[in-house]
Structure 1
């Protein structure tokens, strides 16, 4: 516990004339608190890991420790002009170790400075310091305004400013009504910021010109005498997707094989798009989630698909909803690619 660490550091320091370091784990959920207590008691070095990664429940998180020591306790750690690299480093390390960063990660998570509810969001535009414990830009993060069917016009206005687009009164009203309709159908934009941005850009008159989809289809062949792999029954499943696209005035056909329909569609899209957009090579899917919305309909239920994608620096979420899980996946996948391409070149973002 923090008081135990502080007592131990003080006791050791009283018998030594050299600097003391602490190495702490997070087994009790006090890793960061223990490290801060150790420094307060005289330790001059803290050992830990980025994002707290480590065995069992992890080590103490160096990102939170650096931010707390520097911004809360006034103790110099890294050069001040490098504090804004904390969020990019946190996300980059998560990508390297292939662990999706907890959105509620202190300081650097996607939800660390997220705000919802009309009055709350309206107030933060006037007094951000009343709702955010630090300006998020100091550590390379940013304020996020979550939008749902309960969002008011003020929330959407702030979201539009965050994105960098202008929406007049009538368009804002139309977006509010569209959100209500879509959320009734099963969309949930509070957790799909990227799809929301594309929707709002579309309402402003923007049309994505990366590619146009004419049609696509997916074939799956199941060959074998059974379906239970754990019974050692020989089963082969082949999945192939074909997409017909129009890219920069050219009609192109992409073919893709995969270990499932989503992987096959993604492979087919990339087989065409990579020729024109090599930056797509750096964009990858990191999570795929499916939720059944109306369970009483059984296998005919509407499904919601959420896809998390990354370019190694940023993670974004897109959404698709349909009674057909492949169609829902297609919607989310196309949004993910369009958003990634849109933000791969700042000159393209309008």
Structure 2
């Protein structure tokens, strides 16, 4: 019989401590709903009483299936439970469970709390008992447990036992500094299970040595049955254990899938990539292309010899099927690629081609020649598809940009403030009509984009939901004649995303190439017909 492993998400509490991340109330509600629907067992909402945002979030229960959890400290030294405002806020919160954080390293008890070891143990007991008496499920995060255990194992163990004996459902062992290694985790957890049953233990790992996921899995092997982590591994400093990676491993790797089960259904596993990228959308940041299981490059192959083997049997270079987690296989076309790579990409684009067609050879030669000039099609598959269709399938000549001008002016505005203004004008022929458009922007590329998309006649409905979401510039060589590569990420209302590229010694020209490809790609994919 499989053992149940419970997943506890702390994205909205510990993850909120990530530098540069600030959740709004709407963000918190959306993320809680996403986690609840995905099958996560516990959703930690934050710290009631700490700020108005968390108070508003806890004003009503935000999950249906998952245990909605409030976080806070055990009672303060020298104050009774009934007189501690933090405890009062936790007990008053609309939450299914309460997660206390407690000191378990004697050094911290003396230095941070300024109290005795026995007073700290008493605070753990009384805090847990107060929440149990109110009918709440109780968790105790033993902060710095592993550092504390290595310094004074008897006391760290006493903290865990005190929480368990007072009625805590879960005693969570925290690698707060993130410096413990997997073999240490496994040994210490194994020793502790002689005093606290493993099915009442959890693990909370930070990623300061890049091993938060490995440490969490080591703890599971040693007996713990709850894992705490965050979506995409966000968190303080280097982040927390990545729940996305852990879910993929626990569900797909036989050493875990055959022994353990989690609350995420098999059908939901196929939405793992969608969950990860939807969360990045909440954060307004580009997804990590190299993230395990869900990254755009997680199942990407570049070397020609690998691609050839991959086409014969994907198992030659894939540890799991990409479809199992909602991802897809990508065979990259680059200066290292062979014809197998190119044929695989043509098939993915839906472009029928014979391997012996001389146009395929010419296309491959042009790709390699362009990559020698600075193009990187492995990161810009939309531009690659357009290039391939121009060679093999044809791309309609929707419009011609006959000229464009970009002006950047620094001046004082009507208020006397010194501002920099960008303005662009374009002259475009659409069918039998010539259109002049102008636009201002917060930079030359933004202004050019605005002018270019301001009036494309009958094509306007097809690009109404087009949005540029990321813009990257890379200087490929130094000197006054430096070559610039621009990569643009675009999306539409259906959340389709694509990347286009431009290369030139002039950054505006490189940007223009990428902008043009983005618009044309959108028109092609929308099935736009030529207009008169």
Q: TM-score range, shorter-chain basis?
A: 0.7 to 0.9
Equivalences, count: 335
Q: CA deviation at 1:271?
A: 2.9
For 1:57, what is the secondary structure of its paired residue? coil
Q: CA distance change for structure 1 residues 282 and 13 in 2, over 3 Å: closer, same or farther?
A: farther
Seen in structure 2, the aligned counterparts of structure 1 residues 79 and 251 have a Cα distance that, compared at 3 Å, is: farther
- TM-score (normalised: structure 1): 0.85
- Structure 1 residues 187 and 337 mapped into 2: Cα distance closer, same or farther (>3 Å)? same
What is the Cα deviation at residue 321 of structure 1? 1.4
Residue 15 of structure 1: aligned partner: 195
Aligned to 1:331: 513
Change (3 A) 1:212 1:88: farther
Aligned to 1:284: 468
**1:265 alignment counterpart:** 448
The corresponding residue for 2:186 is: 6
Q: Deviations over 1:140-170 (max 9, x none)?
A: 1111111123422222111111211112312
Cα 1:36–1:339 shift into 2, 3 Å: farther
Q: Give 1:259 deviation, angstroms.
A: 1.6
Of the three residues 345, 356, 360, the one matched with 1:172 is 360
RMSD over aligned CA atoms reads 2.7
| Offset from partner CA, 1:215-235 (integer Å, 9 cap, x none) | 3221222236xxxxxxxx964
The more displaced of 237-246 and 45-54 is 237-246
2:329 alignment partner in structure 1: 143
CA, structure 1 residues 16+271, in 2 after alignment: closer, same or farther (shift >3 Å)? same
Q: In the alignment, is residue 76 of structure 1 matched against residue 277 of structure 2?
A: no
Contact 1:280 1:341 in 2 (8 A): no
Structure number, greater radius of gyration: 2
Gaps spanning 5+ residues in structure 1: where? 225-232
CA distance in 2, matches of 1:340, 1:47: 41
Per-residue Cα deviation, 1:64-94 (whole angstroms, up to 9, x for no partner)? 0000001012133210011111111111211
- Name the residue aligned to 2:373: 185
Q: 1:46 aligns with which of 217, 224, 227?
A: 227
The 1:120/1:47 distance shift into structure 2, 3 A limit, reads same
1:1-350 aligned within 5 A: 1-16=181-196, 19-72=200-253, 73-74=256-257, 75-77=260-262, 78-168=264-354, 169-208=357-396, 211-223=399-411, 235-246=418-429, 251-272=434-455, 276-277=460-461, 280-281=464-465, 283-293=467-477, 295-296=478-479, 298=480, 300-311=481-492, 313=495, 315-343=497-525, 345=526
Q: 1:234 to 1:276 in 2, by over 3 A?
A: closer
Task: State the TM-score, normalized to the length of structure 2.
Answer: 0.58
Structure 1, residues 118-143: CA drift from partner, whole Å, max 9, x if none?
22111110121010000101101111
Instruction: Sort the Cα spacing of 1:54 and 1:198 in 2 relative to 1 into closer, same or farther, 3 A.
Output: same
- State the alpha-carbon separation in 2 of the partners of residues 302 and 192 from structure 1: 18
SS in 2 for 1:286: strand
Deviation string, structure 1 residues 24-81 (Cα, Å, up to 9, x no partner): 2112211111111222223222221111011110111111000000101213321001
